[in-house]
Amino acid sequence: MNDHSRQALVGAIGRAYISLAVADIDELTVSNFALLNTPDFDNPMQAVERYLTSIPRCPNKVGLAVAGDVAGDAVQMSYKGWTITKNDVRAATGADYVTFVNDFEAVALSLPHLTDYDLHTIVPGHPAPYANRVVIAAGTGLGVAGLIHAGEDWLPVRGEGGHVAFGAQPAGEFDVRTAFAPDAFVSADDVFSGRGLVALYTALARSKSLEVASPGARKIAQMGLAREDAVAVEALDLMATWLGRFAGDMALIYGARGGVYLAGGLASNIIPALETGRFRDAFEAKGPFGAYLGGMPVHAIKTGADAGLRGAAVALARSLPSRTVPQRRASDRA
């Protein structure tokens, strides 16, 4: 990256982590990567200022993917009570060009630029070139975004799919509602998240009259994959089934014949559980539309932080006066 004019400071600001790097907005390569804990800072610009002390110079362009609603020159992170403006970023960095993009949209924008190195295939399939894609990001919370090809561009389509009601369950299946307060509205976000895995594990143990400590989501995943804890194994089996069912719903809604992508820490931490067949069976169990889903590949994104940063770089490149669209990777060509 010798041409400083094509360098940018890129970041992904989420509930749990803030990742920052320097990117080449043409090649979509990143360097000087840093991962910081969001709770360590009173506001995200403190994290940016700390990061800037670790690099020789700050580029003149900044692209930030933020877990919040982007409106004009500001982005609101409601769960933290933070509002970030472009002037805040300019004051912290000295940059002239600043772009905000929603974090789920950023991951969607990265999809055409991901390679086999970035992906782990859960369900093989035959993607249609330039067909719609959908990304389901399950980590601290749950988000869904589509990606649609129009002309020369890939356009992200973001909604609030993470906050739909958790779907109806067949008779005999463990009732997810027992993991939450009586009469509570149970959303997909409540279940497909780190806290959802913890709630499920605790409810399963309680249903068996077991007294167990409440480990974190990562520990539950580790115990389940190692088959060290029967409750953790059952929790992962249910999570794989439920996530497959939800992913199938989203694939139908978005017509994702170009592929379904699972992002976020929840999916990446339980990949072996998703490969047992439970996920695929639930994904394709859509009655007469099972065959339609049968051709759709499902991939887990292994390099989640990197994908968000690349998406921020794509959004920034598109916003520049002398617009440069990053070259598509081989995975995006017919």
CATH number of the domain bearing residue 213: 3.40.367.20
* Same domain, residue pair 184 and 275: yes
* Same domain, residue pair 156 and 269: yes
* Same domain, residue pair 105 and 29: yes
Nearest-angstrom CA–CA distance, 9 and 272: 35
Mean pLDDT, the chain, integer: 92
pLDDT digits (tens, 9 = 90+) for 255-302: 999 999 999 999 999 999 999 999 999 999 999 999 999 999 999 999
* Same domain, residue pair 257 and 309: no
List Cα–Cα distances, 109 to 1, 96, 153, 206, in angstroms.
Answer: 22, 23, 10, 42
* Same domain, residue pair 135 and 195: yes
- Domain extent at residue 260: 115-301
pLDDT(159) > 90: no
Coil/strand/helix, residue 201: helix
* Same domain, residue pair 42 and 76: yes
* Same domain, residue pair 25 and 124: no
Tell how far CA 32 is from the center of its chain. 22
* Same domain, residue pair 154 and 237: yes
On whether the CB atoms of residues 63 and 99 are closer than 8 A, the answer is: yes
* Same domain, residue pair 152 and 256: yes
CATH number of the domain bearing residue 323: 3.30.420.40
Instruction: Report how many domains make up the chain.
Output: 2
pLDDT > 70 in the chain, percent? 95
* Predicted confidence band of residue 168 (pLDDT cuts 50, 70, 90): confident
* Same domain, residue pair 47 and 122: no
- Bridge-based pairing of strands 29-37 and 17-24 is antiparallel
Among 166-170, 232-236, 301-305, the range scoring the smallest mean pLDDT is: 301-305
List Cα–Cα distances, 143 to 104, 228, 305, in angstroms.
Answer: 6, 31, 15
pLDDT value for 327? 56
Higher pLDDT, 128 or 321: 128
pLDDT value for 334? 32
pLDDT digits (tens, 9 = 90+) for 10-33: 999 998 899 999 999 999 999 999
pLDDT digits (tens, 9 = 90+) for 47-94: 999 999 999 999 999 999 999 889 989 999 877 788 999 999 999 999
Q: What is the mean pLDDT of residues 151-175?
A: 91
* Same domain, residue pair 105 and 131: no
pLDDT digits (tens, 9 = 90+) for 93-130: 999 999 999 999 999 999 999 999 999 999 999 999 89
Q: What is the mean pLDDT of residues 246-262?
A: 98
* Same domain, residue pair 154 and 289: yes
pLDDT(331) > 90: no
